[in-house]
Structure 1
Amino acid sequence: MSRLPRSVLIALLTVYIVWGSTYFAIHVALTAFPPFLLMGTRFLMAGGLLFAWQKFRGTANPSWREWRDGGVVGVLMLGGGMGLTAVAQQSISSGLTAVFIACSPMILSFCVGLFGDWPNRREWTGIVIGFAGAVLLSLGGEFSARPAGIISLLGAILCWDIGSVLSQRKLKMAPGAMGFASEMLLGGVFLTMVGFLSGEKFTAPITMNAMFAWSYLVVAGSLLAFTAYMYLLSAVPPALAGSYAYVNPVIAVALGVMLGGEQVAAREILAMTIILGSVFILTTARSKQKNHV
């Protein structure tokens, strides 16, 4: 990690730690929020706050094309990626979810490879080792799912990875944070519309815990971690940017031990060691950080 630029290191740690903790936050928020409205209102608030901050700093509005491209990325990554994941979590076990999400760096690297930037041998090694570690870590969980849950999760991963690649290789969003704001705003609008059109309603009371979880998702999960991930896509190889899929379950397990008093078996310790080894391989796979901006 010490070989990485400080900005990249901070972004990686933000994505690792924050998104590793959002598993629990989403679970708590879903006790009061329906899935699409949970994600839609979350990103509407985060995008609105970021947009207002950028306007306060005097940043110019995005052009029509930048709004359009931001909307495409927002619909794919947030509408498809986040929305379908929330739907899938209602009918697929956490163990199987972890295995599917661990496929994301492979799919992301393959999509980038179609644009001529294939991972090198060391990166493929890190990807495979990280996937193996994620599978080993999830073996203690229940592997159950409904067909609709599997389809939703596969669709979520494809939408997220395709949107990630297009945001850097094909589409032109507004520069910097204004581009992230437009993406979250339009993605949030799409998710909220889907929620209302599908008949979602707030049937359960919004408890203090659910409201706190929603607020955490807005500030930490969206404003901090999502912005950090978008930066990583432009600053490091895709295999390293996608390594959160391996590390997030490790963070979730560690938080369970520290905050929930859970026990860790030897198999889980081995799995976490393998995953951290894969991250070391990915961070040292290229001598120079690639910049795709």
Structure 2
Amino acid sequence: MTAHSTSSAATRPTSLLVWGCLLAVYLVWGSTYFVIKVAIGSMPPVGMLGLRFLLAGAVLYGVLRLRGVASPSPQGWRWSAVIGVLLLLGGTGLVALAERQASSSVAAMMLAVSPLFAALFGRIWGEKTGGREWLGIGLGLVGLALLNLSELHATPLAAALLVMAPLCWTFGSQWSRHLPMPSGLMNSAAQMLTGGAVMLLLSALMGERWQVPSAASAWSFVYLIVFGSLLAYSAYTYLVLHTRPALATSYAYVNPLVAVLLGVGLGGEHLRPLGWLALAIIVGGVGLMTWPRRRPAPEALDAA
């Protein structure tokens, strides 16, 4: 599925809506790395995420059906399951598993390679990435390298999981643009329902054990459902379908900044001067990628 380019202005994504969605994925998803770390303190990683997405998907699906939105077709459910597994299990699930042996800040830093993967996968389907976007991606990777030199503290297994996660996430995101997916928010609901169900099944097969969660884990779980899934995941789904790949995945460069600030402010983590320099370079890379290609107008953020 490609962004709209020939329909009326009413079908075009407005700048206000696009930037609102970007703000949601920038700030909310930046906080979820720290919140996931807290949640898995007394909850099983895969099972917690599976239940999170299943509940969020059920709420969103129920609201949409009450408003008269049609249920996905059998084909829509099948493709939603495929993309849901890639994004939710392959992306978020691997991050949660890695955070057992890595800090939340490191997890967010490693995922800053997502825009590069998105640009590379986008070329498979003939999508072009502009020169300024490539420069922004390059700056982001330089910042990531500096962060890793100064701050990376993770086991080899955790590091491998944190490389596999953005591969699954960005491939699934780009592939979904060219599949017969459900439309609108029903797309998010179907992905969360199917992906969450698969994750709960996998949790049972892995033998994950449940216990009464701590208050901190319970509140973190609620936050992940409401803000991380219902708000931010729906916003990201919209961005994938209506903006160019580099912009839709630019959250991966802002999330480390939010994650580090939360880790320093709430988690007692410390960032050395080289780390702050790296974050400044990352923010600069985001600025290059998100700068409109044309004169400021509603169409400026539309997909090429």
Query: Do the structures match in fold with TM over 0.5?
Result: yes
What letter matches 2:209 in structure 1?
K
Aligned to 2:55: 45
Mean Cα deviation higher: 105-114 or 233-242: 233-242
Percentage of identical aligned residues? 42
**Residues 156-208 of structure 1 deviation map (CA, whole Å, 9 limit, x = unaligned):** 22211111011112x11111011110110000000000000111111x43111
What letter matches 2:232 in structure 1?
A
Identify if the C-alpha distance between structure 1 residues 95 and 240 changes in structure 2 by more than 3 Å, giving closer, same or farther: same
Which structure 2 residues correspond to residues 12-91 of structure 1 after superposition, within 5 A?
Answer: 12-91=22-101
Which structure 2 residues correspond to residues 173-192 of structure 1 after superposition, within 5 A?
Answer: 173-192=181-200
Question: What CA distance in whole angstroms lies between the structure 1 residues aligned with 2:159 and 2:52?
Answer: 24
Gapped regions of structure 2 (runs ≥ 5): 1-13, 295-299
Give the conservation status (yes or no) of the 8 Å contact 1:99–1:135.
no
Gapped regions of structure 1 (runs ≥ 5): none
Aligned to 2:9: none
Give the conservation status (yes or no) of the 8 Å contact 2:108–2:255.
no
Aligned to 1:286: 293
Give the conservation status (yes or no) of the 8 Å contact 1:94–1:141.
no
Give the conservation status (yes or no) of the 8 Å contact 1:122–1:285.
no
TM-score under structure 1 normalisation? 0.90
Deviation, structure 1 residue 261: 7.2
2:278 to 259, 271, 282: 271
Identify if the C-alpha distance between structure 1 residues 257 and 90 changes in structure 2 by more than 3 Å, giving closer, same or farther: closer
Mean Cα deviation higher: 151-160 or 17-26: 151-160
Aligned to 1:156: 165
Which structure 2 residues correspond to residues 160-239 of structure 1 after superposition, within 5 A?
Answer: 160-169=169-178, 171-202=179-210, 204-239=211-246
Question: What CA distance in whole angstroms lies between the structure 1 residues aligned with 2:154 and 2:182?
Answer: 42
Give the conservation status (yes or no) of the 8 Å contact 2:56–2:226.
yes
Deviation, structure 1 residue 7: 0.5
Which structure 2 residues correspond to residues 125-136 of structure 1 after superposition, within 5 A?
Answer: 125-136=135-146
Deviation, structure 1 residue 104: 1.4
What letter matches 1:105 in structure 2?
P
Deviation, structure 1 residue 263: 6.2
What letter matches 2:186 in structure 1?
M
Question: What CA distance in whole angstroms lies between the structure 2 residues aligned with 1:262 and 1:80?
Answer: 27
TM-score under structure 2 normalisation? 0.87
Identify if the C-alpha distance between structure 1 residues 214 and 38 changes in structure 2 by more than 3 Å, giving closer, same or farther: same
**Residues 42-78 of structure 1 deviation map (CA, whole Å, 9 limit, x = unaligned):** 0001000100110111111111111111111101111
Identify if the C-alpha distance between structure 1 residues 60 and 160 changes in structure 2 by more than 3 Å, giving closer, same or farther: same
Deviation, structure 1 residue 280: 1.4
What letter matches 2:182 in structure 1?
A
Question: What CA distance in whole angstroms lies between the structure 1 residues aligned with 2:238 and 2:128?
Answer: 20
Deviation, structure 1 residue 97: 3.4
State the number of aligned residues: 286
Deviation, structure 1 residue 268: 3.6
Question: What CA distance in whole angstroms lies between the structure 2 residues aligned with 1:143 and 1:262?
Answer: 12
Question: What CA distance in whole angstroms lies between the structure 2 residues aligned with 1:114 and 1:285?
Answer: 24
Give the conservation status (yes or no) of the 8 Å contact 1:98–1:138.
no
Question: What CA distance in whole angstroms lies between the structure 1 residues aligned with 2:199 and 2:174?
Answer: 21
**Residues 223-253 of structure 1 deviation map (CA, whole Å, 9 limit, x = unaligned):** 1111111111112211111111111111122
1:7 to 2, 17, 26: 17
Give the conservation status (yes or no) of the 8 Å contact 1:19–1:221.
yes
Deviation, structure 1 residue 141: 2.2
Question: What CA distance in whole angstroms lies between the structure 1 residues aligned with 2:282 and 2:164?
Answer: 25
